[in-house]
Amino acid sequence: LPEQHLAVKIVDTAFWITVLNAALITFDAFIFQPGANDWRATAPRLLIDIVRLMLVAAGGAFVVSSVWQVNLGSLLAALGVGSLVIGLALQETLGNVFSGIAMISARQFAVGDWIRIGDIEGQVRSITWRSVSVTTLTGDVVVIPNIQFGRDRVRLLGADQGWVRITADFKFAYDHPPQRVLDMLNETAATTADVLPQPPPAARLISFEDGGVLYR
């Protein structure tokens, strides 16, 4: 069959798709397969996805240009208006993607770090294209859009000292002596697993309220 025959083009396309898939598998195995104590073990998932997307886009452009003889310049020009409409429709999604890229570039925090953004506090579980998953102290998983990290102030907890201070409020009745309550709270905190002896836990009387005394 001649080179421009439809069946030949379909076979060529299938061949190059197979080659591209094999190249991606090889690239992933040699570049992003986690090793012992090296940078690949902590490579963000978002970075891996971006590299893969770029490789797929380059391979797709090659197949469209060489096999199907499509002028990519004309194709991009024809898609210009459509891309604008799609971009407006996906404005928030694209904002999340670019916010995620900015976070990866700045390396402000990574999986395993403790962060506080707004009223959400917890440990970073994963960083993806559009969101960051955080596990709170209650065991809940909160999915935060990446664009929110560009709007709100993010506090990285325990970044320098390696520990984080957690506060908890309790209310006791007025007939309980305050010093006895403070001693009990300090003793309970000191004997709780993972609570450090230095700096020691500290209980304080905060305020007198309706129905009881508030301690922290």
For residue 155, the SS3 value is strand
- Rounded distance between C-alpha atoms, residue 165 and residue 153, angstroms: 19
Intervals of the chain under pLDDT 50:
36-37, 39
What is residue 88's predicted lDDT score, i.e. its pLDDT? Answer: 62
What is residue 27's predicted lDDT score, i.e. its pLDDT? Answer: 79
- Rounded distance between C-alpha atoms, residue 165 and residue 160, angstroms: 13
What is residue 150's predicted lDDT score, i.e. its pLDDT? Answer: 74
pLDDT digits (tens, 9 = 90+) for 26-81: 877 776 665 544 545 555 566 677 778 888 888 888 888 888 887 777 766 666 66
What is residue 90's predicted lDDT score, i.e. its pLDDT? Answer: 60
Pairing of strands 114-117, 141-145: unpaired
- Rounded distance between C-alpha atoms, residue 93 and residue 145, angstroms: 9
Q: Which residues 6+ apart lie within 8 Å of 56 measured at CB?
A: 20, 24
Residues 51, 132, 138: CA angle, nearest 5 degrees:
150
What is residue 94's predicted lDDT score, i.e. its pLDDT? Answer: 67
